[in-house]
Amino acid sequence: MKVFVSSVRRGLEVERDSLPGYIRSVGHTPVVFEDFTAQPIPSRQVCLEAVAQSDAYVLLIGPLYGDVMPDTGLSPTEEEFIAARTKGLPILVFHKMGVSLEPRQVEFADTVEKYAHGSFRGEFLDANDLRIKVGSALEHVEQNHQKLEWFPRDDITPLPPVLVRTPNEYRPLLVLTLAPVPRARLSTMQLRGIAQRAERVLREIGSVPQSSGLESTIVDDGSVVVRSSEQLPRSTGGVTGFTPGGFGGVSASPSGQVAAWQLLPRDFAGSLVDHDFLRETISKLLRLIGQLEAIPSDLVTPYVSIAPADGVRQGSPGTLGQRSSGQLSLQQGRVLETKADDCLKTALLASAADEIADELAQRILEILSRFH
């Protein structure tokens, strides 16, 4: 496994320096920011990419929070933690004993503590104690790796997701909906908690810029919807009428269903989607919902819809805005949706997001190919 080691260096120099060699000795590949200091790409970008490419994430909590980035107000360590959480990596957290944390580090430690899914926590006295505990935790990760399995069900009756559109808004959406198995009710307090987490997570993972506003709405059936309060992306003009895509929103209903959706890019002739685009988009939506910790069951059924699908066809989204001709469709508001007849473990939503998204992308493309 590739194991990313994350921490502020000051105050943890001995412990950090002791881990790479030990991690290699137990058969894994250590990844530390010290390896990237001589690269031409800014180390911040390289480190975050390295986190996403790792298999496990080791976080050392020492006395200092670290210098903050001017654009996010977060330290590199907290940004790395968010990247690991977004990717769904096993997170192994070790607190140094006998040290006082500065106030901002206390806040960060509290944030880490609240993230329960996929985390292991421990304490250490010194470098030797840390090595022993890291080795034990990595062995546990290897032994408890969960393989993605799909379980057929014939008793799943999902409901349509709750979407909120503005007046005169007619944009094709890619919608991912997760239905708990068995169906479970969410209270008003739980729904409000999901909305609050959604507002925080959307900014943390970059779905919505830090400066953008978010609005939470409770609709008639009691569902909560969180979406950007900014104007939707507009056409860049010209003959082609290219309009970029963007994040749409998140909803959670009293029935326990959670949905997230993305606006599809389009031009004068409609939208184009291919397997790679769908897989990447669905994977991001899966990780987003996974971080909300909103599914009240151990099993979940994921299904994907395109709504409306009239102007959506198979093709490379990269050619949008470059076409000089295309086949127009009458806008009838038809919806394409994958079947909801199997389920998987909720705990795998983030860690197996790419694999799940690959399957769902294939399913919706097969339906789209029969539609036109």
What DSSP string describes 195-228? HHHHHHHHHHTTSS-TTS-EEEEE-TTS-EEEEE
Amino acid, single-letter form, for residue 189: M
Give 292: exposed, middle or buried? Use CB within 10 Å, 0-12, 13-18, 19+: buried
Task: Please tell me the distance from the alpha carbon of residue 250 to that of residue 291, in angstroms, as a whole number.
Answer: 12
Query: Which of 30-34, 169-173, 199-203, 353-357 has maximum average pLDDT?
Result: 353-357
Mean pLDDT to the nearest integer, 89-96: 93
Q: What is the chain's alpha carbon radius of gyration, rounded to the nearest angstrom? A: 22
CA–CA separation, 200 vs 212, rounded Å? 12
Of the candidates 321, 314, 242, the one whose C-alpha atom is nearest the C-alpha of residue 273 is 314
Residue 343's pLDDT is 93
**Is there a contact between 279 and 357 (Cβ–Cβ < 8 Å)?**
yes
Phi, psi of 75 (to 5 degrees): -80, 160
Given a cut of 70, whether residue 275 has pLDDT beyond it is yes
What is the residue-averaged pLDDT of the chain? 86
| Euclidean distance between CA atoms 62 and 360, whole angstroms | 42
The answer, as to whether pTM is greater than 0.85, is no
Over range 282-301, report the average pLDDT: 91
Nearest to 317 by CA among 359, 275, 273, 351: 273
Provide the 3-class DSSP secondary structure of residue 154.
coil
State whether residue 264 is helix, strand or coil: coil
Distance between CA atoms of residues 363 and 152, nearest Å: 15
Which residues, at least 6 apart from 199, have a Cβ–Cβ distance to it below 8 Å? 214, 216, 226
**17 pLDDT above the threshold of 90:** yes
* Helix, strand, or coil (residue 65): coil
Given a cut of 80, is residue 37 above it in pLDDT? Answer: no
Q: How confident is the model at residue 278 (pLDDT cuts 50, 70, 90)?
A: very high
| 216: nearest Cα among 186, 243, 252 | 252
In the prediction, which pLDDT does 321 show? 77
DSSP code for 7: -
Q: What is the dihedral of CA 116, 291, 160, 155, to 10 degrees?
A: -40
76 band by pLDDT with thresholds 50, 70 and 90: very high
Q: In percent, how much of the chain has pLDDT > 90?
A: 52
What integer is the mean pLDDT of 140-164?
80
